[in-house]
Structure 1
């Protein structure tokens, strides 16, 4: 393996935005480690054939802390220039009073708690001048919420944003760049078929924004065009 190439770890890289991120970094000359759930064949496996020796596929159920710890052990000795956590679910557009407790718990664990556990567990692998990014959404912005809807998804992304703020405040001496990324309204399972952007339109902007923030410590909440997203 070429030690001069930079390495990105993309958590949740089997499809849509995560797969697009893995592909974009490979095209830009990076080595990529991408995680998938379980052992089923995914688009990431097809991508590995197009970039032999450049893409490592790891199995990870992000909501299982033991699996995250095991991944850290498997990657011991690897150095990451970028750790990017891309994973989220939605369970429909219900008013919060109609959301069952188990659904609330599932979405909050997947969208807020688990990404932060991954960040806390894998941060030692990231270089001191590297980047830790988490996929957020403008739906996590409290000040932009003027129309309501998607109560639980919005709440989970707001919780994620707040937890990243807590992380940044706890590590004030951290020289790493911390990013919350809004990819825009993208045609994915979450965004729906009527969304404004394709994955191919969103991802290059996400990656370009990440690259522009390299070497800028502290927490930044930005969209795929590099614009600041209000909290």
Structure 2
């Protein structure tokens, strides 16, 4: 961890492992203060990171699929302000054609990947100042235009739904000066991405953070890859 310090702060949801944990580590390395969430009470890499953060990382227990836990954190946050609120949440329950997917699996993926992140955005939007950023981790697979090969149908659908819901949020807040981002990190070797993914976490997350920082203060909604390139909806 570097000695860089800044007065900037981030609130990151879904940070116990994988991309979320890497996001927190990157922001700490850049001198930010971070509040980050993990599900459950088990110790994770996020807690280890907090121990070495010099007090710059606070860990909160939140399952974003449980509205009461989201509301409880919002109450604990109080009047704190964050330059960035970022929601990282995604599951996949296999690569099946839609006709073979159970209602239970479909519902679980949609609630986790689309509905719950937007509930967080709605609940925490007011902790972000006019110059701040609200971001959500999306995916290239959320692009309808890019879907020429099929596969992973429910995961794709959930990310498309997330994109559409974020676009509706932006439309309802058309005069809001804050920056809204749907970020695509690329196909990354994580528990979700699998061992055959093209990118390591270190090849993805620093570029994601670079892009988020470059967009700060620009306002409006964008759907971007890690290099800052716009993706087709």
Range of TM-score over shorter length: over 0.9
| Residue 123 of structure 1: how far off its partner (Å) | 0.7
Instruction: Tell me which residue corresponds to 1:93.
Output: 95
Other-structure match for 2:166: 164
TM-score by length of 2: 0.97
Match of 2:198 among 191, 196, 203: 196
Partner of 1:75 in structure 2?
77
> Residue 61 of structure 2 is aligned with which of 21, 39, 59?
59
Partners of 2:215 and 2:140 lie apart in 1 by: 19
Indicate if the aligned counterparts of 2:6 and 2:31 stay in contact, CA closer than 8 A.
no
Partner of 1:151: 153
Is the contact between residue 188 and residue 201 of structure 2 (CA under 8 Å) also seen in structure 1? yes
Distance in 2, matches of 1:116 and 1:199, equals: 25
The unaligned stretches of length 5 or more in structure 1 are none
Contact 2:132 2:179 in 1 (8 A): yes
Structure 2 partner of 1:228:
230
1:5 aligned residue: 7
The aligned residue for residue 103 of structure 1 is 105
Deviation of the 1:4 alpha carbon: 5.9
Distance in 2 (alpha carbons) for counterparts of 1:167 and 1:136: 15
The residue that corresponds to 1:16 in the other structure is: 18
Q: Which residue of 2 aligns with 1:125?
A: 127
Distance (whole Å) between structure 1 residues aligned to residue 144 and residue 98 of structure 2: 16
Q: What is the distance in 2 between the residues matched to 1:190 and 1:142?
A: 21
Task: Tell me how far apart the structure 2 counterparts of residues 4 and 138 of structure 1 sit (CA, whole Å).
Answer: 32
Shift of 1:102: 0.5
**Partner of 2:182: helix, strand, or coil?**
strand
TM-score normalized by the length of structure 1:
0.98
Q: 1:4 to 1:224 in 2, by over 3 A?
A: closer
Deviation of residue 52 (structure 1)?
1.7
Local SS of the residue matching 1:52: coil
Q: Aligned pair 1:25/2:27, yes or no?
A: yes
Distance 1:198 1:4 in 2: 27
Residue-by-residue CA offset, 1:9-67 (whole Å, 9 max, x unaligned): 11001001000000000000100001000110000011012112100000001011111
Which one of the candidate residues 179, 182, 193 is aligned to 1:180? 182
2:12, 2:20 within 8 Å by CA — same for their partners in 1? yes
Superposition RMSD in Å:
1.0
SS at match of 1:227: coil
Deviation, 1:77, is 2.3
Q: Equivalents in 2 of 1:211, 1:106: separation in Å?
A: 32
Secondary structure at 1:205 match in 2: helix
